[in-house]
Amino acid sequence: MRKIFLITLLFLLTVFACNRFEHNFEPEYIAPVAEIWVDSVQGYAPFEVTFRDSSNAGSKALTSWKWDFDNDGVIDSENQNPIHTFSEVGDFFAKLTISDGETDSSDSLLISVLQAGSPLADFSYDIVTAHAPVDVTFSDLSVQGTFEITTWNWDFDNDGTIDSAEQNPSYVFSEPGNYTIKLTVSDGNLESSFIKNLKIQENSVFVELFTGTWCTYCPIAESALHNLSEENEFGEQLTYVEYHMYDDLGTDNIDIFSYYPNGGSLPITVVNGNARTFDGADVNLENRIKNTVNDVLNAGFEAGITLEAMNLENNTLDIEVSLDLEETVSLNNLKLKYILMEELDDQHQNHDGEYLHNVVYYRNDIDISAYNGETIEFSITDLDEFPPEVSEDLILVIWIQTVEEVFNTNTCNVYNVLTKAIN
């Protein structure tokens, strides 16, 4: 009788644990993001424009497309990829609104319809993406019409205020964000405008800590990184993870521990792959890590990661990302690395009796040395094999890193990192 009771109890506990896991891992809904593509944004009246929907659908399929070609509130087309002829001269903000039946998203684009003989405004700038603050130089590429161009008016944040009247100005963007740059040129009689978008991104730093619950001095390093990650000074620009060694939280991290040069004892703190490695811990460790993080942030932006889609179903997490790599980033031995970590582990304590943070439970990587600009898709399977208590606050961390067969301090660089909660 006792044996039957124990078997029944074990079965009920197993069912409870599985149900708890399934409950916590609800698939995350990702809203659609509208984006317009056109074959040309300026021309002489009558001006025929081919519009294409380049939107990101998110978690669900799109169900409707509503185009308002002159932004007057009237829907002009419900085709996904329409063609429209602008017969009047003027600037028109064509607007696309998409929907997946749950969420709407809109995008607009300036279409300039010019009178014959007008100048054609155009320009370029010296970067596509950058880390704020950044000084950007703009080059006028406008083509004169019947008469020579006499004025150049630049609006660097599209707020209606002229920021420069130089032909080829420079401008400092001090904050990250998406900026709409507008140039209006005139020959004294006729004028035209041209708009481009500039994305100023935030750089980020990735810190790997090798630690163990048995380690006497490891809590100093754990506390230093936790304090720095909570400070408003860095915000989301600092991400750190804990690889546990020789305890019941981590037994398979020997390979990555051995890859980085170190003295062989814990804790070991590695900042951005090759920026700096700290052996051991003392009261000054937090400040030393902070100074290194600032050095990395000030070095400049070289790569970006954008989460295009993420979906959890049947204990499988499907992820799609796009990358934005500067020319300075070599594809040789380039990896897209990713881990799942538990944000707060209240089931285990360090040597000082404190709960743990950012404990790595899963890690993998993808060779992207042949990256061609397309989105990258990958999956993490068998999530039901994770301990049930881990499911409550799992975080996905993705970063780009050069990983040669043997560690090279000159090249083993982490370029950027992205974090995302999955429940």
pLDDT of 254-312, one tens digit each?
Answer: 899 999 998 889 999 999 999 899 999 999 999 999 999 988 887 777 888 888 888 88
Q: Using CA atoms, how far apart are residues 403 and 397, in angstroms rounded to an integer?
A: 17
Residue 302 CA neighbour count, 13 Å, CB half: 19
Tokens describing residue 75: 């829907």
CB of 108 closer than 8 Å to CB of 41: no
| pLDDT of amino acid 114 | 92
Tokens describing residue 371: 């990256």
Which secondary-structure segment (H or E) carries 377? strand 376-380
pLDDT, tens only, 309-325: 888 888 899 999 999 88
Q: Name all contacts of 114-117 with Cβ < 8 Å and 24+ positions apart.
A: 114/42, 114/43, 114/44, 114/45, 114/47, 114/89, 114/190, 114/192, 115/44, 115/45, 115/89, 115/190, 116/44, 116/45, 117/145, 117/146, 117/147, 117/190
Question: Biggest alpha carbon distance in the chain?
Answer: 101
Residue 5 has pLDDT above 50, yes or no: no
- Percent pLDDT > 70 in the chain is 89
Q: Using CA atoms, how far apart are residues 1 and 218, in angstroms rounded to an integer?
A: 48
Q: Using CA atoms, how far apart are residues 204 and 408, in angstroms rounded to an integer?
A: 21
Q: Report pTM.
A: 0.64
Residue 132 CA neighbour count, 13 Å, CB half: 13
Question: In 298-354, at which residue ranges do the beta strands (DSSP E only) sit?
Answer: 303-313, 316-325, 334-349
Which secondary-structure segment (H or E) carries 97? strand 90-99
| pLDDT of amino acid 230 | 85
Mean pLDDT of 204-215: 95
Q: Which class in CATH covers the domain with range 205-421? A: mainly beta
Banded model confidence at residue 2, pLDDT cuts 50, 70, 90: very low
Q: Which class in CATH covers the domain with range 36-200? A: mainly beta
Domain ranges in the chain with CATH number 2.60.40.10: 36-200, 205-421
pLDDT, tens only, 321-364: 999 888 889 999 999 999 999 999 998 999 999 999 999 999 99
Distance, CA of 404 to chain centre: 24
Burial of 67 (0-12, 13-18, 19+ CB in 10 A): buried
What letter would DSSP give residue 392?
A: G
Sign of CA dihedral 316, 373, 123, 135: positive
Who contacts 370 (Cβ-Cβ below 8 Å, separation ≥6)? 331
Distance spanning both ends of the chain, measured CA to CA: 41
